[in-house]
Amino acid sequence: MKPVPESLPDGESALLVEADAGLNADEADALSDVESELRPLQIGTEQHATRLDRALVDLVPEFSRSYLQQLLAQGLVNLNGKPVLKASTRVKAGDHVVLEMRPTVQSQAFRPEPMPIDVVYEDAHLLVVNKPAGLVVHPAPGNWSGTLLNGLLARDEKALLVPRAGIVHRLDKDTSGLMVVARDRAAMDALVALIAERKVQRQYLALAHGAWTGPKTRTVNVPIGRDPRNRLRMAVVDLAIHPGKAARTDISYLGGVDVGCWVQCTLHTGRTHQIRVHLASLKHPLVGDSLYGGSPMDPMQRQALHAYRLAFVHPVT
């Protein structure tokens, strides 16, 4: 399985999980007793004139595109009362679709799971939560349950009506701090647009290794891409040689001692592991971040990164 980014900023964005078209034996056994579901859907104005498979991904985001294409190929999708086999079929607003849904491991993961959620702000359109370290944001291979998304579904039944339960960006598992979550589709679309236009200010506090030297304020403006030597890592890359994307982080020194320093990091882009990579490129890896050269420092045993400030114009009011 591989993560497939949606039309959100890279890295800090929410992710769907693209699954292999078929189930393995264990998955098939686990789901064999679960009945299929006939799910009626209506094509909205947002899906007008798009491919059927793309429209379905939007309407049932808990299923991967490849799985939905498999349903089409098996004749399990009806469009306006007639079976349709081609994923490329164009749809119109108002079209009626009926799916015979066959459960997958990832679709079963989109279930409510009660858990404590620290809500620091809430209104009718959005909420801001303080995510603890150790909590995964979105179901993915290895973490199909116990995620923030599962908790949001349990907290508010209306979250079932919003793609990804309203999650519009993410934090790494071991990063704590603030996340904004939409409570309706209009707010979600507006927040996605604000993030894409870089109109959401995100600031982090970090504890990094080493004594800080040089200017107290630095701007790291170097591209980030997949590390060609280790696919689990990201790295500063030369775009003439390796694929990557522009990335900018403003870093301000707050204080420290010989073995470590407190810094504030302001993101101007949202690349995967951006702060971790940029600090490591300055020879100041995060405390507790073993992937990028850091190590634990009592009492901090986890990745020392906290998203402490979000600033944006409310998308509705």
- Kindly list the catalytic residues: 172
- Identity (one letter) of the amino acid at 162? V
The one-character DSSP state at 125 is S
Cα separation, 107 vs 127, in Å, equals: 25
N-term to C-term CA, the chain: 40
Residue with tokens 């990164």: 305
The one-character DSSP state at 160 is G
Other Cβ atoms less than 10 A from the Cβ of 96: the count is 12
The one-character DSSP state at 292 is G
Selection from 102, 139, 140, 111 nearest residue 21 by Cα: 102
Query: What is the Rg, in whole angstroms, of the alpha carbon atoms belonging to the chain?
Result: 21
| C-beta of residue 310 within 8 angstroms of C-beta of residue 180 | yes
Strand order from edge to edge, sheet including 248-257: 119-122, 126-131, 176-182, 305-311, 201-209, 260-267, 248-257, 217-221
Cα separation, 169 vs 126, in Å, equals: 13
Residue with tokens 């790291």: 220
